[in-house]
Amino acid sequence: MGGKIMNIHIISFTKKGFSLSKRLKDLLEEEVSLSFGGKIDSEEKSSQKNELSSIHVPLSEWVKAHFRTGNVLVFVGAAGIAVRAIAPFIRDKSTDPAVIVIDEKGSFVIPILSGHIGGANSLAKKIAGLLRAQAVLTTASDVNNLPAIDEFAARNNLSINDMEKAKDFAAKVLNESWHSAESRQPAESDEGALPQFTISLYIKNDILSLIPKCVILGIGCKKGKSPEELEGFVRESLDEHKIDYRSLAKIASIDLKKDEKALVSLAESLKIPFVTFSAQELNQIQQKVTPSAFVSEITGTDNVCERSVFAAGASEIIVHKSACNGMTLAIGIKKINIEIPEEFQKFFIKNSEEN
């Protein structure tokens, strides 16, 4: 799961399944919640009855509450129960959560949804190891012992520019593997030629691209700017420089602007954090910036947007300060080290636009 913090939600339907759930919770270091969706015997001893009653929930309500990106849903019971329960909620493989089924004896651990992007496969293998069970993986890349591009992306917190391209890439990797196994080389004109991918913060329409969250927006603005005006200014600049919105990591500014409605609204709209720094912190930045005596007089620092970018962790600025009607913007990138696994190196195309 690439170090991601997971919220694991386990539901069981029998006393035996509940016992396994409690055992698994004790074995996992992640945050785990337990629920019970089965019938509670009215003749049950009060202590056992109360334990199950306190966590009892209708299955449909449990799925609705937890079926969201970043969660893991674990069903201890029959796979059919899980399939029927999640079916109405399934939308897109890029956002659906991981779903795993475990039989109540703890013999088999089966990822049934979001095996790669959601991390169900890797967690299933981990759980199987803890329970001394068998992980049952059915994804083509896993059963053929081949690299999976969506799993690599999820592990490194990379977005995929086009899921159809990712699907085509996976199919070509399988095809290339078959050609290699048969000691055949596809002709240059074959559709089975080597698949390719790149890693880029820029919009790419002609190749599978994995997008790192590495872009920092440094923003300064006059008090009272409307959220619509600021967002329009920022989006116009991103579009002009063909920067993919999925590469945005955070917005940075001076602490005088920490409650500025336009900035707070922009961060909410882009779904990224908004961080601020004091003038003293900004003045400690050693990198070269474009100074302004006027800005220094008002804020205590000679450049808000560029200094904020560096203060927020950028290693370089790719778009220097631009100004429009009382708003300023600088765009920087933070260095992210992504190691391309050996099995992927022959498919990787280094981006000429980036170092």
9-36 pLDDT per residue, tens = 999 999 999 999 999 999 998 899 999 9
Predicted confidence at residue 43, as pLDDT, reads 61
Residue 309 has a CB neighbour count (10 Å cut-off) of 36
| pLDDT over 70 at 58, yes or no | yes
157: Cβ contacts below 8 Å, ≥ 6 apart:
2, 4, 212, 213
Phi, psi of 175 (to 5 degrees): -65, -45
Pair 176, 189: CB distance under 8 Å: no
216-238 average pLDDT score: 95
In the block, tokens 């969201």 appear at: 68
Higher per-residue pLDDT: 251 or 179 = 251
Pair 2, 26: CB distance under 8 Å: no
Predicted confidence at residue 145, as pLDDT, reads 77
Predicted confidence at residue 1, as pLDDT, reads 44
Distance CA 157, CA 87 (A): 27
Pair 329, 305: CB distance under 8 Å: yes
Distance CA 181, CA 173 (A): 12
Distance CA 47, CA 43 (A): 11
Predicted confidence at residue 303, as pLDDT, reads 94
Biggest alpha carbon distance in the chain?
Answer: 80
290-305 average pLDDT score: 92
- Supply 217's token pair: 């927006």
Predicted confidence at residue 353, as pLDDT, reads 60
Least confident piece of the model among 125-129, 171-175, 311-315: 171-175
Predicted confidence at residue 3, as pLDDT, reads 46
Name the pLDDT band for 191 (thresholds 50, 70, 90).
Answer: very low
Distance CA 327, CA 226 (A): 11
| pLDDT over 60 at 186, yes or no | no
61-81 average pLDDT score: 94
Q: In terms of C-beta density within 10 A (0-12 exposed, 13-18 middle, 19 or more buried), how is residue 239 classed?
A: exposed
275-304 average pLDDT score: 93
Predicted confidence at residue 144, as pLDDT, reads 80
Name the pLDDT band for 41 (thresholds 50, 70, 90).
Answer: confident
Name the pLDDT band for 139 (thresholds 50, 70, 90).
Answer: confident
Residue 352 has a CB neighbour count (10 Å cut-off) of 7
Predicted confidence at residue 50, as pLDDT, reads 74
- Supply 322's token pair: 């631009």
9: Cβ contacts below 8 Å, ≥ 6 apart:
32, 33, 35, 62, 66, 71, 72, 73, 74
Query: DSSP of 298-316, one letter per residue?
Result: HHSSS-HHHHHHHHTT-SE
Q: Is the pTM of this model over 0.85?
A: no
Pair 306, 321: CB distance under 8 Å: yes
What's the mean pLDDT when you consider all of the chain? 89
Name the pLDDT band for 192 (thresholds 50, 70, 90).
Answer: very low
